[in-house]
Amino acid sequence: MTILTPNSPTAELQRADAAHHMHPFTHGQGLNDRGARVITRAEGCWLNDSEGNRILDAMAGLWCVNIGYGRRELAQAAARQMEELPYYNTFFQTTHVPAINLAARIAELAPGDLNHVFFASSGSEANDTNLRLVRTYWAEKGQPERQWVISRWNAYHGSSVGSGSLGGMKGMHTQGGMPIPGIAHIDQPDWWSEGGDMTPEDFGRARAKQLEDKILELGPENVAAFIAEPVQGAGGVIVAPDTYWPEVQKIVDKYGILLIADEVICGFGRTGRWFGSETVGIRPDIMTIAKGLSSGYQPIGGSVLSDEVASVISGTEFNHGYTYSGHPVACAVALENLRILDEEGVVDRVASDTGPYLKERFESLTDHPLVGEAKIVGMMGSLALTPDKASRAAFASEAGTVGYITRERCFANNLIMRHVGDRMIISPPLVISREEIDVLIERAWQSLDEAHEELKAQGLMKAR
Ligand SMILES: *Cc1c(COP(=O)(O)O)cnc(C)c1O
The dotted CATH code for 37-67+345-457 is 3.90.1150.10
Please tell me the predicted confidence (pLDDT) of residue 392: 96
Residue type at position 458: Q
* C-beta 341 within 6 A of ligand 1: no
Please tell me the predicted confidence (pLDDT) of residue 386: 98
- At 342, give phi and psi (nearest 5°): -75, -55
* Cα separations in angstroms, 364 against 187, 368, 376, 402, 409: 30, 8, 12, 20, 19
Q: State what percent of residues in the chain have pLDDT above 70.
A: 100
Helices 200-218 and 244-255: angle between axes, nearest 10 degrees: 20
* C-beta 329 within 6 A of ligand 1: no
- At 390, give phi and psi (nearest 5°): -60, -40
State in Å: Cα 234 to ligand 1 middle: 9
Confidence band of 1 (pLDDT split at 50, 70, 90): confident
The answer to whether the beta carbons of residues 184 and 151 sit under 8 Å apart is: yes
* C-beta 154 within 6 A of ligand 1: no
The mean per-residue pLDDT over the stretch 331-345 comes to 98
State in Å: Cα 157 to ligand 1 middle: 5
Q: What is the DSSP letter of 295?
A: T
pTM: 0.98
Question: What residues form DSSP beta bridges with 415?
Answer: 56
* C-beta 123 within 6 A of ligand 1: yes
State in Å: Cα 122 to ligand 1 middle: 7
In the chain, what are the domain boundaries? 37-67+345-457, 72-343
Positive or negative torsion for Cα 440, 442, 445, 450: negative
Which own/partner pairs from 196-199 qualify as long-range (CB within 8 Å, at least 24 positions apart)?
A: none
Q: What is the tens place of the pLDDT at every residue in 94-124?
A: 999 999 999 999 999 999 999 999 999 999 9
Asked if the model's pLDDT at residue 152 lies above 90, the reply is: yes
Q: Which residues contact 316 (CB under 8 A, 6 or more apart)?
A: 136, 140
Q: What is the tens place of the pLDDT at every residue in 70-98?
A: 999 999 999 999 999 999 999 999 999 99
Task: Select from 289, 291, 425 the residue to mutate for testing ligand 1; criterion: most ligand atoms less than 8 Å from CB.
Answer: 291
Confidence band of 36 (pLDDT split at 50, 70, 90): very high
The mean per-residue pLDDT over the stretch 430-450 comes to 98
Task: Select from 23, 129, 156, 275 the residue to mutate for testing ligand 1; criterion: most ligand atoms less than 8 Å from CB.
Answer: 156
Pick the CATH number of 72-343 from 3.30.9.10, 3.90.1170.50, 3.40.640.10, 3.30.300.130: 3.40.640.10
